[in-house]
Structure 1
Amino acid sequence: MTLIERYILRNVTVAFVACFLALTLVIWITQILRQLDLVTGQGQTLGIFMVVTLLSLPALVVIIAPVALFIATIYALNKLNGDSELIVMSAAGVAPARLLRPFAALGTAIFMIVAAMTLYLMPQSFNTLRDLITQIRADFVSNIVKEGQFTTLDSGITFHYREKAGDSLLGIFMQDERNPEKIAVYIAERGQTVTVGNDSFLVLENGSVQQQEKGSRDAAIVTFQRYALNLSVFAASEAETVYRPRERSTAYLLSPDPEDPVYKYQTGRFRAELHDRFSAPLYCISFLLIAFAALGEARTTRQGRGVAIAAAVVAVGLVRILGFFASSAVVREPLAVAGIYGAPLVSSLIALLIIFEGARVRGLMGAFLRGRRAATPAAAAGGA
Structure 2
Amino acid sequence: MARFDRYLISQLMVLFGFFSLVLVMVYWVNKAVGLFDQLIADGQSATVFLEFSALTLPRVVQIVLPISAFIATVYTINRLSRESELVVVQATGFSSFRLARPVLAFGLAVAIFLSLLSHILVPAAARQLAERESEIARNISARFFSDGSFLHPTEGLTLYIREIEPSGEMVDLFLSDQRNAARPTTYTARRALLLRSDEGPRLLMYDGMAQTLDRDANKLATTSFTDFTYDISALIGDFGNRKPAVGELTTGQLLRADPRLIAQTGSNPAQFKAAAHGRIAEPFLAMVTALVGFSCLLLGGFSRFGIWRQIVFAVVLLVVIKVLDNAVVDIARKDSSLVALMYLPVVVGLAVSAVILWISEHPALFRRRRQEAS
If the TM-score is normalised by the length of the shorter chain, which range does it land in?
0.7 to 0.9
Pick aligned residue for 2:351 from 329, 349, 352 = 349
Match of 1:196 in 2: none
1:211 and 2:207 aligned: yes
Other structure's SS at 1:239 match: coil
More deviation in 86-95 or 50-59? Answer: 86-95
Match of 1:86 in 2: 86
Task: Give the CA deviation at 1:349.
Answer: 1.9
Superimposed CA distance per residue, residues 175-231 of structure 1 (whole angstroms, 9 cap, x where no aligned partner)? 599xxxxx774689xxxxxxxxxxxxxxxxxxxx8533779744669xxxxxxxxxx
Distance change in 2, residues 1:99/1:185 (3 Å): farther
Distance change in 2, residues 1:94/1:52 (3 Å): same
Distance change in 2, residues 1:129/1:160 (3 Å): farther
More deviation in 261-270 or 14-23? Answer: 261-270
Other structure's SS at 2:207 match: strand
Distance change in 2, residues 1:176/1:119 (3 Å): farther
Superimposed CA distance per residue, residues 335-371 of structure 1 (whole angstroms, 9 cap, x where no aligned partner)? 55344211122111220232246424x4544454455
Give distance in 2, aligned partners of 1:286 and 1:299: 22
Superimposed CA distance per residue, residues 310-348 of structure 1 (whole angstroms, 9 cap, x where no aligned partner)? 100111111112112221232223455344211122111
Superimposed CA distance per residue, residues 4-27 of structure 1 (whole angstroms, 9 cap, x where no aligned partner)? 333322221121111111111111
Give distance in 2, aligned partners of 1:145 and 1:210: 17
Other structure's SS at 1:35 match: helix
Alignment of 1:144-223 (within 5 A): 149-151=151-153, 185=189, 211-212=207-208, 217-218=223-224
Letter in 2 for 1:255: R
Structure 1: gaps (5+ residues): 163-170, 178-182, 189-208, 222-233, 374-384
Distance change in 2, residues 1:128/1:44 (3 Å): same
Whether the 8 Å CA contact 1:81–1:299 is kept in 2: the answer is no
Task: Give the CA deviation at 1:83.
Answer: 0.9
Superimposed CA distance per residue, residues 258-285 of structure 1 (whole angstroms, 9 cap, x where no aligned partner)? 2441356443432331222111111011
1:55 and 2:55 aligned: yes
Match of 1:247 in 2: 248
Other structure's SS at 1:211 match: strand
Pick aligned residue for 1:310 from 302, 312, 319 = 312
Task: Give the CA deviation at 1:150.
Answer: 1.5
Pick aligned residue for 1:267 from 251, 266, 269 = 269
1:11 and 2:11 aligned: yes
Letter in 1 for 2:87: I
* Count of aligned positions: 324
Task: Give the CA deviation at 1:255.
Answer: 0.4
More deviation in 95-104 or 54-63? Answer: 95-104
1:359 and 2:364 aligned: no
Distance change in 2, residues 1:5/1:158 (3 Å): farther
- Under a length normalisation based on structure 1, what TM-score does the superposition of the two structures give? 0.73
- Give 4+ residue runs of structure 1 displaced > 6 Å after superposition: 144-147, 213-216
Alignment of 1:220-231 (within 5 A): none
Identity of aligned residues (%): 23
Other structure's SS at 2:238 match: helix
The alignment yields a C-alpha RMSD, in angstroms, of: 3.5
Give distance in 2, aligned partners of 1:352 and 1:174: 75
Whether the 8 Å CA contact 1:282–1:345 is kept in 2: the answer is no
Distance change in 2, residues 1:186/1:326 (3 Å): farther
Pick aligned residue for 1:280 from 279, 282, 290 = 282
Superimposed CA distance per residue, residues 135-167 of structure 1 (whole angstroms, 9 cap, x where no aligned partner)? 1111235666798641159xxx975579xxxxx
Letter in 2 for 1:284: A
Distance change in 2, residues 1:372/1:236 (3 Å): closer
Give distance in 2, aligned partners of 1:276 and 1:176: 51
Structure 2: gaps (5+ residues): 163-170, 178-186, 193-204, 211-220, 228-234
Distance change in 2, residues 1:39/1:347 (3 Å): closer
Whether the 8 Å CA contact 2:299–2:310 is kept in 1: the answer is no
Give distance in 2, aligned partners of 1:301 and 1:295: 10
Letter in 1 for 2:291: L
